[in-house]
Each structure stands twice: as C-alpha cells, then as structure tokens.
Amino acid sequence: MEGVLLPVCPSSPSSSATLKPKISIPQRSSFPSSLPTHCSFPQNAAFSHRNSLRSPTFAIAQHEAPVLGKPDNNSVPALPKIDKTGRFCSPRAARELALSIIYAACLEGMDPVRLFEKRMNTRREAGYEFDKKKLLEYNHMSFGGPPVTVESDEEASDLLRHIEEESAIEAEVLTAPPKLVYNTLILRFTRKLLVAVRDAWDNHVLVINKIVPENWKNEPAGKILELCILHLAMSEMAVLETRHQIVINEAVDLGKRFCDGAAPRIINGCLRTFFRELEREESNNRL
C-alpha cells in the first residue's frame, strides 16, 4: 500500500453493530521519507510503509522479523551490529550501504565508486553532532509484509507513532557521514563490493537481460532497485567469490526489505540460474 493513509476496512452488513471496525495498517518498511541529498535519492517518499529504497528490512525467509518490533521467541538471533567503537560492523550493513550507493549512482548516471568516495569525503556542517545511541535503535532486521489489522483508532495511532519514531531514527542514521556510522572494515568491504559491481557491470547487463522476466525488461526504469540488487549479488559471487548461499540469502533479504511483490522470489530464481551458469563455466574451464 502506497503512502501513509489508513484504509479502514468496511464492516460486513451481517456483522454485529457492537463490533469495532478493524483498521488495516501496512507494516512499516523502514527507509525514511527524507534521505541525503548528496546521494540523489528521490525526496518524494517513494519510501512508504511498503518495502521500498524506494524502505529497509532484513530477515531470514523462514523466520521473518516480527511486526513492528514485537518480540518473537522463534526469530533468528540478530547478528552483532555494533563494534567497540560504536559503529556498524555487520556485513549486512555493508550490503545495504552498497545498494544505496549503486541505486543513487544509477539515478545520477555516475560511477558508484566515485559516488561512494564523494560521500565519504563530504564535509560535515558546522556544529553537526551525531548521537551514536541511534545506531542501537536502528533495526537492520525490520521487515515489511502484509498489513497489520488493529481493533481501534488508539491502536492505529500507537502503531503509526512507532513507525514515525523509527523513521526519524533511520533518517538521522542514513544522513550521517558514513565514517561515523560504519567501521573501517565495513567501509572497505562496501568499496570492494562497489568496485566489483562497476568492473562487471557491462557483462552482467547481458546476463541479466537473459534471465530476468520480460516485464522487468519492458519497464526497466521501474525496476532499477531490483536490478541493482542483482548486480550487487552477481558481482559478489563472481568477483569476490563469496559463497553463493550467503549471497543469495542476503540478496533475497534485500529484495524483501526494499522491494515489493514477487521481487524477492524472482531475485532468488535469477541468482540461482546465474550461479548454475557460473558452475558450468568453471567446469568447462577445468576440462
């Protein structure tokens, strides 16, 4: 569901008059409505309550993160995300950062490595301070999904207030200078990912054209983010030689976190096809 309006589900004519109307609220996906201008993300809140980098989310497919931060005893333990310096240290943070840079580079028509370095070297405004406590509140594992149904206006207000608070935290984290948010190893890993993407871009464009669905090829401008995820994952597998199980899981999570509809399933299928082709090529080279 696009935007922040609350669709109120009409009650059935046969329902009792004493029943309260149920209000359907989209689960939040977490990218904020305002992002750093130096990354040239669109400022018109394509980051809505549905998943979109056009919004963040990471989860293991069979153990999705609970709605709106509610506890889930069956959820997979989160990876450590903060190191002793108080900065993000999870590889997931690196992939998220790399994806945001690739996406912005596509919108600007710019080399992603140059854009990354430009962002790294951006000077802070006079008097700027960043509260590192926000990093502990930022949730890499927040996840979208189907709308949440509540029983009253009060519950709807509480959920929306929670969404707004998380979005404010994310806006502050994602607009902060990267050196204050990510540790040195994560920034190095991010740059390696971006170099791999840049160097393999032309070859992977040809591969992607063969393996993605026709509707993605017919409307590529509407699938920039999804295609960026494919470029990122394919480059990590082919150039950095990260184990394909890890890369595909992370890419699917990125799809769930930032994209909509069938994108995660399609990304999974495309990357498995790509990996089979990689294996076939390696096998032929050994013969």
Q: What are the tens digits of pLDDT across the range 83-126?
A: 888 898 989 999 999 999 999 999 999 999 999 999 999 888 88
Domain boundaries, the chain: 23-286
For helices 224-238 and 184-211, angle between their N-to-C axes, nearest 10 degrees: 110
Q: Domain 23-286 maps to which CATH number in 1.10.940.10, 3.40.50.1370, 3.30.930.10, 3.40.50.970?
A: 1.10.940.10
Alpha helices in the chain (DSSP H): 91-108, 112-120, 133-137, 153-174, 178-181, 184-211, 214-218, 224-238, 244-258, 263-286
- Predicted confidence at residue 42, as pLDDT, reads 31
- Predicted confidence at residue 167, as pLDDT, reads 81
- Predicted confidence at residue 131, as pLDDT, reads 83
What residues contact 50, with CB distance under 8 A and at least 6 apart?
1, 2, 26, 29, 144, 260
CA distance 146 to 161: 19
Spans in the chain with pLDDT lower than 50:
1-77
What residues contact 168, with CB distance under 8 A and at least 6 apart?
32
